[in-house]
Structure 1
Amino acid sequence: MKSVREIFRNKKYLLEEPEVNKLVDYCEELQDEIVEFKFQKTDNKKLAMLDMLKEVIKGCNAIEKEQMEHERYGYEAPDYQATISNLKNYIYNRCKEEKIWL
């Protein structure tokens, strides 16, 4: 299954359209709900890891979007150090909750 961003990789300009952004956000929400449902249904570590990785990817996509807005519109630059710290904390906390030892 392709991610929404992969579908638009050859026409990135479409990602700048408000309606396309709403569609992308909606698809990501649905993907999260599907993962959560599968996790509740099976309660296994593979799905917990999959969910965790999807959250990390979502965070990376958000920081990429901030960088694009910074370059295009001059908005405030992303705080990469805080983002990396938040992602690491998320991973470590989630692993602790799921009893996944790295």
Structure 2
Amino acid sequence: MKSVREIFKTKEYLLDEPEVERLVEYCEELQDEIVEFKFQKTNNKELAMLDMLREVIKGCNAIEKEQMEHERFGYEVPNYQETISNLKSYIYSRCKDEKIWL
């Protein structure tokens, strides 16, 4: 992307025109908004990833608790295959929703 100065380098005198000055100001505002939007978009993906990781950790902690209860009290053995499948489905679903490509 060219800067304003590069665009007008052969006709810099046009930069002094009021309409061009307003246009340049408008372009600078848009550039600031684009930078802000990109930051928010990146930040949102980071937040989505953190949220997803927290949920995965929560799921892992739950299955560990089930394993300890099985060992201690003889409760039903955790279904590890189902848990793994559920976690994978959750991760892929969230990634699709948040447009995060693994």
- TM-score, reference length from structure 2: 0.58
Q: Which residue of 2 aligns with 1:72?
A: 72
Question: Structure 1: any 5+ residue segments left out of the alignment?
Answer: 1-41
- Paired positions, count: 61
User: Where do 1:1-102 residues align within 5 Å?
Assistant: 44-102=44-102
- In structure 2, what is the Cα distance between the partners aligned to 1:57 and 1:89? 15
1:44 is paired with a residue whose SS is helix
Amino acid aligned to 1:74: G
Q: CA RMSD in A?
A: 1.1
Larger radius of gyration: 2
List structure 1 runs of 4+ shifted beyond 4 angstroms: none
- In structure 2, what is the Cα distance between the partners aligned to 1:97 and 1:67? 32
- In structure 2, what is the Cα distance between the partners aligned to 1:60 and 1:93? 18
- In structure 1, what is the Cα distance between the partners aligned to 2:53 and 2:98? 14
Report sequence identity in percent.
Answer: 82
- TM-score, reference length from structure 1: 0.58
Question: Structure 2: any 5+ residue segments left out of the alignment?
Answer: 1-39
Summarize deviations over 1:72-95 as a string: whole Å, max 9, x none.
000000000000000000000000
